[in-house]
Amino acid sequence: MKQLDVYSIARCEHSVIIVFLQLILISVFLVCTIYDVQADASETRNSLHYVYGGFKPESNSIYKFYNMFQDVHVMIFVGFGFLMTFMKRYGFSAVGFNFLVAALLVQWAILCNGFYHMDENYKIPISIVSLLKGDVAVATVLISMGAVLGRTSHMQLIFMGLLEIAFFSFNEYIAAKFFIVTDAGDSMFVHAFGAYFGLAVSFVLTRKQKLTDEERSMEASSYMSDMFAMIGTVFLWAFWPSFNSAELEGDAQHRAIINTYLSLTASCVVAYAFSSAFTPHHKFDMVHIQNSTLAGGVSIGTMANLMVQPFGALIIGSMAGVLSVIGYCFITPWVDNKLKVKDTCGVHNLHGMPALLAGAGGALFAFLASEDSYKMGLYQIFPAMASPDLKATDEYPLLEGGLGRTSAQQAGYQLAALGCTLGIAIVSGLFTGLFVSSPLTSGQSRNGAYKDDPCWLIHEHEHPTELPLKVSTVSEHVTDIHPPTIVTTPQI
């Protein structure tokens, strides 16, 4: 009881902290944000006819991005949320914390990204692209959350996310400013960063926590919880092509969608085959089906807009499928036992290793890239490969001078960006782990891991009713079928 009281006091503080955070965010939005010109009624061009210099209504960026944004939005709140509901008594927390953390952090992510792209008045213009980037940035946190799921309170997740978004935005800024690489599906900046940041946090947490056997037993799934997790899997799988192509256009977007679709089909097929091969009695393991089938979306990410060719996309997806199942069967247990790093959802297998594959593949296909295979489109995908004196022409109005990198140099920069991302992710993850495992925030996490009960109101009548329920329903039923005596049989 005592601990519960202490705990509940702590929790009340938590409410205050969350409200306080929201108020700070509102203040920063007040000071720093405005509507983008395309969403701003005070922008004359929005009402002026286009022949007089106004915008065409149909050219508003909302039409270009909104549908892709919605697909990504569903991935973040439905896909990630339900994918994490696989534990038998952690469903409320999985989908619920995903919801809270994402809703709070998209606001913070919009600001963090905006700080690097302010206008001349030091204002952040908010557009549909801001919302899309906010959702994508939050995916990074949700991936890290998968590594520590069930062993962290919602407050620890919020603090982790606030720090992670800041480091994530910094890393993205560095990459955009110095490395100038392509990463259409954000496999490096979102998936690799999120996975290794999360594992670094977990590295610290695992050392500070001792799980009881009863707690460990709760980490398992149940038949129903696995069914709910499949909702997340299929939505993530179906909408992943939108995630990898949301910020592209024209043939690059078309190509990214084809590549991602094909890569996902191959990773799904291969994940099933290896799941059955590596599982006792050659059965399928839901863990692999829920996760490894998605690895192809990560592994093609960096290359999604490159000329990998349809068969190339299938190969990349197949490799990710194998890699991911092997990870679940052999690497994760080893990391858990030897390195003492717990990885609740196996993000290393779904996001970590496939993202490394994506980064390496991106470098390979950058090395293979040439004007021959990309024509002038090469300099839109790899602007740094344009020669410094390249100029826009009537035929190619989008051309501009670059750094004159060779394809080999570009490949090197792709690898450098991956290395830098891993470095920042791991270092900042360790730091964040120390912070969130400090007594200040770690109160709840020891209070029953992998269980909703410490954190969620479970209506008391639920458990009792499991008996009354059966009785009542049978009895009603009985009135038109069996003799009521059945109801009173002791074994029910």
Tokens describing residue 263: 């890569």
Tokens describing residue 265: 């089909």
Taking residues 383 to 402 in sequence order and writing x for each that binds its own copies by CB under 8 A, - otherwise, the string is: -----------xxxxx----
Q: Which residues have C-beta within 8 Å of that of residue 442, sequence separation ≥ 6?
A: 153, 156, 208, 436
State the minimum distance, in angstroms, from the CB of residue 196 to its own copies: 27
From candidates 203, 235, 328, 382, binder to its own copies by CB under 8 A: 235
From candidates 249, 404, 408, 438, binder to its own copies by CB under 8 A: 249
Q: Quick check: 407 binds its own copies (CB under 8 A)? A: no
Taking residues 5 to 34 in sequence order and writing x for each that binds its own copies by CB under 8 A, - otherwise, the string is: --xx--xx-xxx-xx-xx--xxx-xx--xx
From candidates 177, 280, 337, 338, binder to its own copies by CB under 8 A: 280
Instruction: Look at the alpha carbons of 452, 453, 458, 461 in this order and tell me if their dihedral is positive or negative.
Output: positive
| Beta carbon nearer to its own copies, 25 or 166 | 25
Instruction: Look at the alpha carbons of 224, 227, 231, 232 in this order and tell me if their dihedral is positive or negative.
Output: positive
Residue 34, classed as helix, strand or coil, is: strand
Taking residues 138 to 157 in sequence order and writing x for each that binds its own copies by CB under 8 A, - otherwise, the string is: ----------------x---
Residue 305, classed as helix, strand or coil, is: coil
Q: Quick check: 60 binds its own copies (CB under 8 A)? A: yes
Q: Quick check: 44 binds its own copies (CB under 8 A)? A: yes
State the minimum distance, in angstroms, from the CB of residue 24 to its own copies: 11
From candidates 167, 179, 239, 328, binder to its own copies by CB under 8 A: 239
From candidates 340, 391, 461, 484, binder to its own copies by CB under 8 A: 461
From candidates 62, 176, 364, 420, binder to its own copies by CB under 8 A: 62
| Beta carbon nearer to its own copies, 30 or 439 | 30
From candidates 166, 174, 211, 238, binder to its own copies by CB under 8 A: 238
Please give the radius of gyration of the chain, using alpha carbons only, rounded to the nearest integer.
Answer: 25
Q: Which amino acid would we find at residue 50?
A: Y
State the minimum distance, in angstroms, from the CB of residue 96 to its own copies: 6
Exposure letters 327-343 (e unless 16+ CB within 10 A, then b): bbbebbeebeeeeebbb
The one segment of 141-149, 273-281, 334-342, 408-416 that binds its own copies by CB under 8 A: 273-281
From candidates 427, 434, 440, 458, binder to its own copies by CB under 8 A: 458
| Beta carbon nearer to its own copies, 67 or 387 | 67
Tokens describing residue 261: 């679709």
Q: Quick check: 337 binds its own copies (CB under 8 A)? A: no
| Beta carbon nearer to its own copies, 104 or 424 | 104
State the minimum distance, in angstroms, from the CB of residue 342 to its own copies: 18
Q: Which residues have C-beta within 8 Å of that of residue 249, sequence separation ≥ 6?
A: 64
# chain residues binding its own copies, by CB under 8 A: 174
Query: Which of 1, 4, 380, 361 lies closest to 185, judged by CA?
Result: 361
DSSP state letter for 221: B
The string of DSSP letters for 38-95 reads: GG-TT-GGGTS-GGGTPPPGGGSHHHHHHHHHHHHHHIIIIIHHHHGGGBTT-HHHHH
State the minimum distance, in angstroms, from the CB of residue 430 to its own copies: 28
| Beta carbon nearer to its own copies, 171 or 441 | 441
Contact present, 231 and 77 (Cβ < 8 Å): no
Contact present, 432 and 160 (Cβ < 8 Å): yes
State the minimum distance, in angstroms, from the CB of residue 121 to its own copies: 15
The one segment of 175-183, 286-294, 352-360, 411-419 that binds its own copies by CB under 8 A: 286-294
- β-pairing, 33-35 vs 124-126, is parallel
Contact present, 148 and 201 (Cβ < 8 Å): yes
Which residue(s) pair with 124 in the sheet? 33
| Beta carbon nearer to its own copies, 98 or 432 | 98
The one segment of 39-47, 141-149, 334-342, 428-436 that binds its own copies by CB under 8 A: 39-47
From candidates 120, 210, 213, 223, binder to its own copies by CB under 8 A: 223
From candidates 144, 171, 182, 253, binder to its own copies by CB under 8 A: 253
Contact present, 185 and 304 (Cβ < 8 Å): yes
Taking residues 340 to 379 in sequence order and writing x for each that binds its own copies by CB under 8 A, - otherwise, the string is: --------------------------------xxxxxxx-
Contact present, 43 and 220 (Cβ < 8 Å): no
Range 160-219, binding its own copies (CB under 8 A): 214, 217
Residues 151 and 163: their CA atoms lie apart, in Å, by 18
State the minimum distance, in angstroms, from the CB of residue 295 to its own copies: 13
Q: What is the chain's length?
A: 492
Contact present, 182 and 366 (Cβ < 8 Å): yes
Contact present, 117 and 145 (Cβ < 8 Å): no
Query: Which of 292, 294, 299 lies closest to 313, judged by CA?
Result: 299
Range 91-130, binding its own copies (CB under 8 A): 91-92, 95-96, 99-100, 103-104, 106-107, 126-128, 130
